[in-house]
Amino acid sequence: MAAVSAIAAVAGTVISVAGAKAQAKAQARASRFNAAVAERNAKASDIDAEWSKIVSGLEAQDFLDDAESFNARVSSANRKNGWANTGTALDVYMDAIAEQEEEVSHMETRAIAKENQFREQSINMRMGAELQEIYARNYITAGKWRAAGAAASGVSKTAFLLR
């Protein structure tokens, strides 16, 4: 009877060790997958930052083109009406240009803020990927310790049953 119990204890030990190793590998694989997804998302966020910068630059240039056209029409209308770009007409013209420059400055500030937001998001995603890699290593280490503990417990049970 002791021999049967000892064989069962050994079999249980082998199964426990194999299960601990399999669990560790599966958990590590899942963490590495999560790390790969986070890294991919970080790259996508980097691309979003670059596109945001490009699109913002194009929008600012379109605005400046429209402003230049508007300013030319205002100057033309002033000349057509026989007004020189002096005095009140010049003041209005200069105020319009100042407002346009201020708007471009606001556009650039918003563009920088949006780009920085994407960059920060990218950094956070990379940090998450690194954390997942740490988890993967820890799962493997923990699995080895669980397997060693199961083996030691099995040896102890077997030795007790065979005495």
For residue range 26-68, list pLDDT tens digits in order.
Answer: 999 999 999 999 999 999 999 999 999 999 999 999 999 999 8
Q: What is the pLDDT of residues 87-120, one digit of tens each?
A: 777 788 888 889 999 999 999 999 999 999 999 9
Q: Quick one: DSSP state of residue 82?
A: T
Q: Which residue, among 4, 31, 38, 8, has the nearest Cα to 140 in the 3D structure?
A: 31
In this prediction the pTM is: 0.66
d(CA 139, CA 145): 10
The average confidence (pLDDT) of the chain is: 88
Helix (H) or strand (E) holding 129: helix 87-162
Tokens read off for 136: 């993967």
